[in-house]
Amino acid sequence: MHESLFSFLGENLQMFLSYTGFANITFGHFVMIILGLIAIYLAIAKEFEPMLLIPIGFGILIGNIPFMDAGLQIGIYEEGSVLNILYQGVAQGWYPPIIFLGIGAMTDFSALISNPKLMLIGAAAQFGIFGAYMIALQMGFEPNQAGAIGIIGGADGPTAIFLASKLAPNLMGAIAISAYSYMALVPIIQPPFMRLLTTKKERLIRMKSPRAVSQTEKIVFPIVGLLLTCFLVPSGLPLLGMLFFGNLLKESGVTRRLAETARGPLIDTITILLGVTVGASTQATQFLTASSIKIFALGALSFVIATCAGILFVKFFNIFLKEGNKINPLIGNSGVSAVPDSARISHTVGLEYDPTNYLLMHAMGPNVAGVIGSAVAAGILLGFLM
């Protein structure tokens, strides 16, 4: 009687132990948990994009708790599990357009409207996407995968997730983590190339103050912007449509409550869900591959290319501009759509050389143009490769 009870309890205990994380941990899980902790550390101690890195870092921890695959519906890749249901917003690509709605509702396009030539910088910086696309092809990725990887260079997390979910769902975890990590590291990646590619004289260029923009112009912008960009690239509709819609909510002046919801509770909710599920999607078995390492390398490269392309384009553009109308090439880096981080970097680097030269308002122009540009680029890649 006692013997059978003990053996029963022993078996139960053994079974329980086999279900614990300790019994199922692999080296990969360990590495991923360390990565998650690093992300959380960077977010809290260094304040690198805490809004993104905290949910992602914690998501990495959630996704890498080892468990026995016994059909308990706990893993993010198990159909019907809670995490899997939350992950559908990423997998089906409907979180990013909602984030774009919020971005539209919080973005002031005045700097761009007052000096529309800055839009072209936002276009030039998209070379980061296609430069990385070409390199990815040479590294052996398929064109659809290369497109999804290249979009990291747009420095736009939601766009990267949206495109990866459509073109290369199996690489989405690595692409999303790479995009958000480098967005957080923009203050480290961009300044050396900004200094390298500009002369001291160029860094001191003072730009003309932007003119005041009327309310009518602000209202016209999202409507015309949507019609022009989406007629040209209809595949960019989910992102651009929501971006401009959000902006109209903000600028119309009669939908304040909707705009506040879009740029407040709604975007916050989706950011939480997106961050944590993207993090959790990096299960060691799916994430720790040679492709992921290549994607990380290509992601860094794409940011560098985008930064350089923006700066060099401004220098080229300046050849055709009259004295007094010239653009400070330090705002070229803002063509990537990491809003407002890259614009802030233009401003900070500019202040190092002239403490009275405020570039922030000028840099916001190409910065928001970069958002439009990367969404257009994503639409092109989607149209060509899907």
Query: Residue 366 contacts by C-beta under 8 Å, 6 or more apart in sequence?
Result: 118, 119, 121, 122, 125, 310, 331, 332, 334, 335, 343
Nearer to another protein, 66 or 154 (CB): 154
Choose, by CB under 8 A, the member of 1, 79, 320, 356 that binds another protein.
Answer: 356
140 C-beta neighbours (distance < 10 Å), count? 10
2/193 Cα distance (integer angstroms): 75
Residue 355: CB minimum distance to another protein, A: 8
Is residue 332 within 8 Å of residue 316, measured between CB atoms?
no
- Which listed residue (228, 234, 269, 316) binds another protein by CB under 8 A? 228
One of 87, 162, 193, 221 touching another protein (CB under 8 A): 221
Residue 231 one-letter amino acid: F
User: Which positions ≥6 away from 379 have C-beta within 8 Å?
Assistant: 233, 234, 235, 236, 237, 239, 240
* Interface with another protein (CB under 8 A), residue from 15, 232, 293, 321: 232
SS3 assignment for 70-104: CCCCCCCCCCCCHHHHHHHHHHCCCHHHHHHHHHH
Binding range to another protein, per CB under 8 A, among 15-23, 59-67, 111-119, 321-329: 111-119
Q: Tell me how far, at minimum, the Cβ of 78 lies from another protein, in Å.
A: 25
Under the binding rule (CB under 8 A), the answer on residue 256 touching another protein is no
- Which stretch in 23-31, 155-163, 207-215, 322-330 sits in contact with another protein by CB under 8 A? 207-215
Could you tell me the two tokens for 188?
Answer: 């480290």
Q: Among residues 121, 147, 92, which one has the least CA distance to residue 273?
A: 92
φ, ψ at 142 (rounded to 5°): -70, 155
Q: Whole-number minimum distance, CB 17 to another protein, in Å?
A: 42
Q: Which stretch binds another protein (CB under 8 A): 72-80, 117-125, 189-197, 315-323?
A: 117-125
Binding residue for another protein, selected from 35, 43, 62, 119, defined by CB under 8 A: 119
Q: Binding to another protein by residue 321, rule CB under 8 A? A: no
Contact (Cβ atoms closer than 8 angstroms) between residue 161 and residue 176 = yes
| Closer residue to another protein in complex, CB, 15/224 | 224
Q: Is 210 in the site for another protein (CB under 8 A)?
A: yes
Does 208 bind another protein (CB under 8 A)? Our answer is yes
Nearer to another protein, 52 or 280 (CB): 52
Which residues contact residue 282 at a Cβ distance below 8 angstroms, ignoring those fewer than 6 apart? 32, 35, 59, 60, 63, 64, 173, 174, 177
Helix, strand, coil shares of the chain, percent, nearest 5, are 75, 0, 25
Residue 4 sits in the site that holds another protein (CB under 8 A): no
The one-letter code for the residue type at 317 is F
* 351 lies in the site for another protein, by CB under 8 A: yes
- Helix (H) / strand (E) element for 345: namely helix 341-353
Peptide bond preceding 340: is omega within 30 degrees of 0, i.e. cis? yes
Nearest distance in Å: CB 372, another protein: 7
**Residue 306 Cβ vs another protein, minimum distance, rounded to whole Å:** 12
Residue 113 CB, shortest distance to another protein, in Å, is: 6
**Would you say 159 or 277 has its CB closer to another protein?**
159
Binding mask 122-151 for another protein (x = CB under 8 A): xxx-xx-xxx-xx-xxx---xxx-x-----
Taking CB atoms within 8 Å and a gap of at least 24, the contacts of 355-358 are: 357/204, 357/206, 357/328
The residues in 42-81 that bind another protein, with binding defined as CB under 8 A, are: 47
Closer residue to another protein in complex, CB, 220/272: 220
> CB-side exposure of 116: number of CA atoms within 13 Å?
6
What are the residues binding another protein (CB under 8 A)?
Answer: 47, 112-114, 116-117, 119-120, 122-124, 126-127, 129-131, 133-134, 136-138, 142-144, 146, 208-214, 216-217, 220-221, 224-225, 228-229, 232-233, 351, 355-356, 358, 360-361, 369, 372-373, 376-377, 380-381, 384-386
